[in-house]
Structure 1
Amino acid sequence: MGLRIELSTDTVEGAVTADALGADRIELCSAGELGGLTPGPGLLAAVLARCRRSEVHVLVRPREGDFRYAPSEVDAMLADVRHAASAGAAGVVVGALTSRGALDRPVLADLVAAAEGLPVTVHRAVDVCEDPVAAVETLRSLGVARVLSSGGAARAEDGVPVLRRMVTAAGDELTVMACGGIRPHNARAIAEATGVRDLHAAPRRRLAPSGGAAVDYGTHAVLDEEVARKLVELARS
């Protein structure tokens, strides 16, 4: 079974590691511990300058929290999508919901148009929808390339039945990419149970504090290279 692996990272070093390992795609974001926010232009430029093997797809999310955006936030998202396209990204990752929790079709249509032909992935906003399976038809009609989903559950393992139905509904026009707790020990089983061929993971490990400073600014998480390597190797086996 051929699988494709997308690794999410919020650092240049993480992206370089994912690229060297041979990940099919990199989802580039900032503030990964907040679920990911739009990366700054400097981070994007540094990653694009260093990554040659993996496609770099840019998350466009202006803030943490829900996916119901004010018009001013939508304007910012459109500008970020256009910047990602002009900078040389291979795709963008977006999402928007209405006040009722449905996919915001007009906003998504504008975001797809702003991408100017780049592949668009809709992120886990779809898991908040009342019916993720029905949302697949909306995304197909908008020309979205992929949808990132855990089947409406916290973890893909718990969303297998819904993911399977989403794959069926997507047909050949839309790729369903499973996410949520994807690790080497369960990746193949999830793929076989659902029919997905694309898997998204954000394996991270927290660095130890450097110590010795008068003021403690804490530490940060980085891509877990060991887990990432095992996922890529699994996809190639």
Structure 2
Amino acid sequence: MAKLTTIGFDADDTLWQNEQFFRLTEQRFQALLADHAAPEALVTRLLEAEKRNLAHYGFGIKGFTLSMIETAVEITQGRVPASIIGEILSAGREMLSHPVETLPHARETLERLADDYRIVLITKGDLFDQERKLAQSGLGDFFDAVEIVSDKNEATYRRIFSRHGDGAEHSMMVGNSLKSDVVPAVRAGSWGVFIPHDLTWVLEHMEAPADEPRFRELPHLGELPALLERLG
């Protein structure tokens, strides 16, 4: 087996909480438009808007905020009160300034691995927001490199692991998204380690590549050092 020299970590919902703030804001959005649509219908329309807008706004809070505004306009047939638009914008700003909450085992795992591997943060989303969260997390010193990308696919991992490591075959990607973190990394030739999170966004769901020899699933980050020891 090719010796592992480099480990990539996802950020949102792998090292720190993220999706829970989207869910709370979504609930606030439902309350604002309760007189115009049932909660289930509103969530469906919002998700449709987010899907449409990914190609234009990318991943992150700003695109989510714009999708909420677009949905509010559609649901009310253009009659949404300016006060509701103001509330949506305020909710987006609050998300962008919310304190970072690191997940259990994140710091201790990075501490244990930092001396033996090149550690790379590989995250997608808004540049300013991801930089803010990394700075506030207190985890920045553990990383040999940070890559904030617009999307994660096979080419992304091949490029990053060649730039910051010894190639994909000598690398591992760890994250909570099968679609973004695990499956494309495995297809690129890396190891892919899935750490489930209770609130992973529905658009990041995908069937686990259970038959792939380089796929592993762990209950939490604290199990990662033991896995690496078993892999040798």
- Normalised by the length of structure 1, the TM-score is 0.31
Of the two, which has the highest radius of gyration? 2
Counting helix residues as a fraction of each chain, which structure ranks higher? Answer: 2
Structure number having the greater strand percentage: 1
User: Which one has more relative contact order, counting CA pairs under 8 Å at least 6 apart?
Assistant: 2
TM-score, with structure 2 as normaliser? 0.32
